[in-house]
Structure 1
């Protein structure tokens, strides 16, 4: 087991981590002072096999006003708020991020401390700075440049996904026909 962890850490240092095909991730969104978004808790259900990525964004200011960001491999994305029954469908021809989406990222450093953990950092210029634990390659924090906010990991579990597959379907008030 120790050898496997050492090999994983060595691989992480040489190239960006590859995501597992399924995971659940809970993060705190912490915006810069000049950001247009507020503090929030996000829960991500990534399921590459199902072709879906769901991010639930719960703002600190109103915990009942959860934004669902549902991204599908079909190239359709839906931003909806069940409490208000509002929906904004969008087309994103790329689909969801591939597990190796960090390939070709530029190394920021191999000994960066984030949230008290030694991390390895990569950047995709003008998009994201991504920090992974130097030992496990698990996500520790990332920073979205355009949003001007960092996302600090508080829970991560590879191999888990949404408990109900229906979570990966847009609600009836958000029809895909709106995308044509």
Structure 2
């Protein structure tokens, strides 16, 4: 005959197993999808909009090499702004206009977004964005992220500032050649480091995509 202690152990195991089955059953019922991790390397062509200000943006993400590049051009504007981020927390925001080259060096405590940066995001359900049925998540009250249900590619991002990104193309595995990741020499001069020219705000009223994405990583560490 089983002792009282053995009976208690058996009862505890039964209750634990029943609780586990209940949790699995609830998870199966809710069936909430999980956002896809970002590919370790990709190129996305995006159109951005904030309060009617339109721009084209090339996003190059390169996690293995610890770098991220946003190349920004406002509508009908010849000036191109380059926002180059490194995983050591250093970012170079510069222009290559020969008549007035500018550079701002930023130092933050966090690096580029991790591929799984959407981990822990709150699922909001499904919504149509144009012709795409999307799963929608919100991350730390900072960004609402729309992902195509069929392909799991990003379709649209809406930041808390109202800044909206529409993904036009998404090339998994695309890599920008190494020479293009080199910031200009004037970024490494004292003048470049002390330059407080607000070219981030010039590129995008309310902040660039790079600055907003840096904000996500800061929020994650708080």
* TM-score when normalising by structure 1: 0.83
Cα distance in 1 between the residues matched to 2:58 and 2:111: 19
Shift of 1:136: 1.4
The Cα RMSD (Å) is: 1.8
Task: Please give the secondary structure, in 2, of the residue aligned with 1:90.
Answer: strand
Structure 1 equivalent of residue 138 of structure 2:
123
CA 1:176/1:71 → structure 2, altered by over 3 Å: closer, same or farther? farther
Q: Deviations over 1:114-138 (max 9, x none)?
A: 1320000111133111101101110
Choose from 102, 111, 114 the match for 2:129: 114
Structure 1 equivalent of residue 109 of structure 2:
93
**Greater per-residue strand proportion:** 1
Larger Rg belongs to: 2
The answer for unaligned runs of 5 or more in structure 1 is 1-11
The answer for unaligned runs of 5 or more in structure 2 is 1-30, 195-222
1:24 pairs with 2:43:
yes
Structure 1 equivalent of residue 187 of structure 2:
174
Task: Please give the secondary structure, in 2, of the residue aligned with 1:167.
Answer: helix
Structure 2 equivalent of residue 135 of structure 1:
150
CA 1:176/1:19 → structure 2, altered by over 3 Å: closer, same or farther? farther
Choose from 82, 90, 101 the match for 1:76: 90
1:103 pairs with 2:119:
yes
Structure 2 equivalent of residue 8 of structure 1:
none
Shift of 1:61: 3.2
1:15 pairs with 2:28:
no
**Greater per-residue helix proportion:** 2
Task: Please give the secondary structure, in 1, of the residue aligned with 2:185.
Answer: coil
Shift of 1:79: 0.8
Task: Report if aligned partners of 1:27, 1:42 keep a CA contact under 8 Å in 2.
Answer: yes
Cα distance in 2 between the residues matched to 1:13 and 1:49: 30
Shift of 1:170: 1.4
Task: Please give the secondary structure, in 2, of the residue aligned with 1:14.
Answer: coil
* TM-score when normalising by structure 2: 0.68
Aligned residue pairs total: 160
Shift of 1:13: 5.3
